[in-house]
Amino acid sequence: MRVIMFGPPGAGKGTIAGALNERWHVPHIATGDMLREHVRQGTDLGLRAQAYMEAGELVPDELILEMVRARLAEPDAQHGFLLDGFPRTVAQAEALERMPAGGADVVIDLRVPESELLRRLSGRRVCPECGAIYQADTMPPRRPGVCDRCGGKLVQRSDDAPQAVRNRLEVYRAQTAPVLAYYGERGLLYSVDGTRGAVAVIAEVGAALTARGRA
């Protein structure tokens, strides 16, 4: 099954996709994580993407599309995937349709109001070692500042700083929200109330995917 996890920054795409991919045996492909890895390793793509990411701007389509096209050509993506953070523009959605393993079977739209997004993004801490995500108030690690899973030291993403957060929400409204209409017209949208706890959201999305998989 080809699944797109959609929603504004802070809606929980990474948390939900990360919990679902094991059960569905499809790779979790998160373009933001891939880009951060390029930045960390200092690749050519990382050097070109870094300034956009830190400002909360979108990385130009041609760079993203080259990266996603290569990833979807790998063997593990031939029978489906969970895309997280892609597509983020209508041009990216159109390009996905044209990729050999591309297209989508269902688009999960995680709905969360802006006040809640601001709260979540400012309280978010991540593990740079294993990618685990924590929330200061609702999903804290067992030991403050330390990853439960691998013991890594938790950090705040540079684009979770207040000015970058405001910019990411603005970019979402202007450039990414139109992708919803694109998939709505194709009958692929499934909207989920993303304000509930992660366990409830994961259960609902899991049930929706099971129903689609049988259909």
Q: Which residues are catalytic?
A: 13, 88, 124, 157, 168
Q: Min. distance of Cβ 30 from ligand ADP in angstroms?
A: 6
Candidates 32, 102, 131, 194; binder of ligand ADP (CB under 6 A) is: 32
Give me the residue label for tokens 């390029």.
38
Q: Tell me whether residue 58 or residue 154 sits nearer to ligand ADP (CB atom).
A: 58
Q: Tell me: does residue 129 bind Zn ion (CB under 5 A).
A: yes
Hey, what are 48's tokens? Answer: 């070109």
Phi, psi values for residue 129, rounded to 5° = -80, -50
Q: Tell me: does residue 149 bind Zn ion (CB under 5 A).
A: yes
Cα–Cα distance measured from residue 115 to residue 104, given in angstroms and rounded to the nearest whole number: 30
Candidates 6, 24, 81, 86; binder of ligand ADP (CB under 6 A) is: 86
Binders of ligand ADP among residues 143 to 172 (CB under 6 A) are 159, 168
Give the binding range for Zn ion (CB under 5 A) out of 55-63, 109-117, 131-139, 170-178. Answer: 131-139
Q: Tell me: does residue 108 bind ligand ADP (CB under 6 A).
A: no
* Segment 124-133 long-range contacts (CB within 8 Å, at least 24 positions apart): 124/10, 124/156, 124/157, 124/160, 125/154, 125/155, 125/156, 126/154, 126/155, 126/156, 126/157, 127/152, 127/153, 127/154, 128/40, 128/152, 128/153, 128/155, 131/14, 131/18, 131/33, 133/14, 133/15, 133/18
- The footprint of ligand ADP (CB under 6 A) covers 9-10, 31-32, 35, 52-53, 56-59, 64, 85-86, 88, 92, 159, 168
- The footprint of Zn ion (CB under 5 A) covers 127, 129-130, 132, 147, 149-150, 152
